[in-house]
């Protein structure tokens, strides 16, 4: 993979993020991980297995694939199985914007926090489709209530314009559990937006907000 090439994986099991991070590291070195998900995916083991779709980001940290204190989870909610889960995650240098934080601070402030943390570092963007509410993405393994609306996810992604995204994935789409292709539509739209972000990566193209209509105060 040449340095000017960027890669997107579509799936499928989230474990694919680990070999993707290894491949991206070979070209770009350690990256910041921007991870949209209902779950942390930094457990030590899952069903006693060290490499699964609930553990791969701990393995990535242990392998030195992530820049410490640059990575973030966005959209976290749902069950936590051990009270140490958040403690361990913090020790791996992750910062968390929970789904409820977005309710409290709003999408523009969440975008500002993400942009401030990522800066100009090379970024791997991983979107687990279960970050969306099951109303928008029912076709996934562990659907969790109270997720992002699709319009919130798209606006968060579009707020990353100019960030240096060197690799990405959209994962955990399970067509067997989908209906009316709604989950696939969400995933395909996210991939389309990722390609747009990669085209603008590292450039200083204006943000869509620069074109926003001025709405007079009522």
Residues that bind Mn ion (CB under 5 A): 14, 37, 41, 128
Closest separation in Å from C-beta 212 to Mn ion: 32
Nearer to Mn ion, 14 or 58 (CB): 14
Closest separation in Å from C-beta 4 to Mn ion: 29
Nearer to Mn ion, 37 or 89 (CB): 37
Closest separation in Å from C-beta 149 to Mn ion: 19
Distances (CA, A) of 114 to 30, 34, 156, 159: 18, 8, 9, 9
Collapsing DSSP to helix, strand or coil, 181 comes out as coil
- Cβ partners under 8 Å of residue 110, min gap 6: 74, 97, 101, 102, 156
Nearer to Mn ion, 41 or 193 (CB): 41
Closest separation in Å from C-beta 38 to Mn ion: 7
- Cβ partners under 8 Å of residue 166, min gap 6: 6, 24, 27, 28, 31, 122, 123, 124, 201
Nearer to Mn ion, 170 or 197 (CB): 170
């Amino acid at each position: 993979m040449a340095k000017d090439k960027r890669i997107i994986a579509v799936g499928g099991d989230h474990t694919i993020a680990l070999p993707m991070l290894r491949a991206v590291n070979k070209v770009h070195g350690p990256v910041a991980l921007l991870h949209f998900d209902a779950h942390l995916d930094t457990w030590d083991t899952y069903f006693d297995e060290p490499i699964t779709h609930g553990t791969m980001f701990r393995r990535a940290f242990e392998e030195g694939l992530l820049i410490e204190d640059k990575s973030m989870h966005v959209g976290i909610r749902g069950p936590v199985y051990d009270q140490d889960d958040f403690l361990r995650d913090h020790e791996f240098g992750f910062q968390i914007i929970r789904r409820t934080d977005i309710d409290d601070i709003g999408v523009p402030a969440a975008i500002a926090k993400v942009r401030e943390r990522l800066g100009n570092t090379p970024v791997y963007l991983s979107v687990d489709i279960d970050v969306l509410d099951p109303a928008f993405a029912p076709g996934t393994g562990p659907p969790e209530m109270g997720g992002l609306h699709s319009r919130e996810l798209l606006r968060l992604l579009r707020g990353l314009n100019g960030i240096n995204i060197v690799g990405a994935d959209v994962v955990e789409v399970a067509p067997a559990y989908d209906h009316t292709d709604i989950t696939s539509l969400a995933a395909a739209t996210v991939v389309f937006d990722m390609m747009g972000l990669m085209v603008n990566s590292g450039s200083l193209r204006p943000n869509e907000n620069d074109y926003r209509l001025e709405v007079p105060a009522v």
